[in-house]
């Protein structure tokens, strides 16, 4: 439990789901996505004029012809990974801890993304995007646009079109994060699942670039930041000496709050989450 700012270790071998912390992490990522949507509206207002600022030189975009349907395929890869993770989450014994970690990491990466895309506005990576600076009559217009992006999850498959949010790629963040959660929280010998997950991750990144929706540096930085943060978080969480160190509490206060009662690695144990119907209990006990 957590009281007076201190953590108390649960019984050995037992992992407390701490659902209330999971609710807090869900609220955190929910608010971060909302804030990200509003920042995307702001950066759309500041997008450089395409006639004055042409696309920057990019080795991949200059070498590979644009594939018009590629971005939809990238989002399809993300959706498949999302369904895979949701199935794992449903069946995993420690689903509350998994979901809490996903929300914590996803929210933190997207909060960092807000800073980078607001700080520097890159020129539009392709003439096909037809981006122009968009202004709104009042703050309510900006809020309405942000709500549209928020409710559509920023996906083109839901009809959301954005401009200026290039540094760094949010689609790459989501696809990569889901891949790492799928591979981390399934047994090591589930090679087929791991292979499918990595193929979807890599093809998703390729499709993002093939659609000429992002510069190569956007995708590279998104992949690097996501993977490093995931690995650092889990290294701290799995190492008790780091987990309860004073330095971790100072530099990673949210991590310390969410993970203080998780003692060591989370075992990959699965069980059916629903009660068996009465007739099944009669048949199989």
Nearest-angstrom CA–CA distance, 115 and 35: 11
Residue 171 falls in the annotated catalytic set: yes
| Cα pseudo-dihedral 146, 73, 63, 116, rounded to 10 | 30
Nearest-angstrom CA–CA distance, 180 and 202: 12
Q: Which of 44, 94, 212, 214 is catalytic?
A: 214
Q: Which of 16, 58, 165, 218 is catalytic?
A: 218
Contacts of 238 (CB under 8 A, 6+ apart): 264, 265
Q: Are 100 and 22 in contact (CB under 8 A)?
A: yes
Contacts of 133 (CB under 8 A, 6+ apart): 44, 45, 46, 47, 49
Residue 8 falls in the annotated catalytic set: no
Q: Are 42 and 135 in contact (CB under 8 A)?
A: no
Q: Which of 171, 194, 212, 244 is catalytic?
A: 171
Residue 214 falls in the annotated catalytic set: yes
The residues annotated with a catalytic role in the active site are 171, 214, 218
């Amino acid at each position: 439990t957590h009281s007076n700012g201190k953590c108390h270790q649960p019984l050995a071998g037992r992992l407390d789901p701490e659902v209330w912390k999971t609710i807090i992490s869900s609220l955190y990522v929910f608010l971060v996505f909302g804030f990200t949507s509003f920042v995307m509206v702001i950066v759309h207002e500041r997008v450089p004029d395409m006639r004055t600022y042409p696309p920057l030189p990019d080795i991949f975009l200059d070498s590979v012809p644009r594939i018009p349907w590629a971005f939809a395929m990238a989002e399809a890869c993300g959706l498949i990974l999302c369904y895979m993770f949701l199935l794992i989450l449903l069946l995993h014994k420690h689903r509350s801890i998994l979901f809490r970690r996903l929300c914590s990491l996803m929210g933190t990466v997207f909060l960092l993304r807000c800073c980078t895309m607001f700080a520097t506005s890159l020129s539009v990576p392709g003439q096909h995007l037809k981006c122009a600076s968009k202004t709104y009559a009042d703050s309510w217009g900006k809020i309405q646009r942000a709500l549209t992006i928020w409710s559509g999850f920023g996906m083109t498959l839901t009809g959301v079109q954005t401009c200026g949010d290039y540094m760094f790629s949010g689609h790459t963040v989501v696809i990569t994060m889901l891949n790492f959660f799928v591979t981390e929280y399934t047994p090591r010998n589930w090679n087929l699942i791991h292979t499918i997950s990595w193929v979807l991750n890599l093809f998703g990144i390729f499709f993002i670039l093939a659609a000429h929706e992002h510069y190569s540096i956007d995708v590279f930085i998104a992949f690097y930041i996501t993977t490093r943060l995931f690995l650092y978080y889990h290294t701290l969480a799995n190492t008790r000496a780091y987990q309860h160190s004073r330095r971790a509490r100072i530099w990673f206060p949210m991590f310390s709050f969410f993970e203080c009662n998780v003692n060591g690695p989370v075992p990959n144990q699965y069980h059916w989450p629903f009660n068996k119907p009465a007739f099944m209990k009669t048949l199989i006990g």
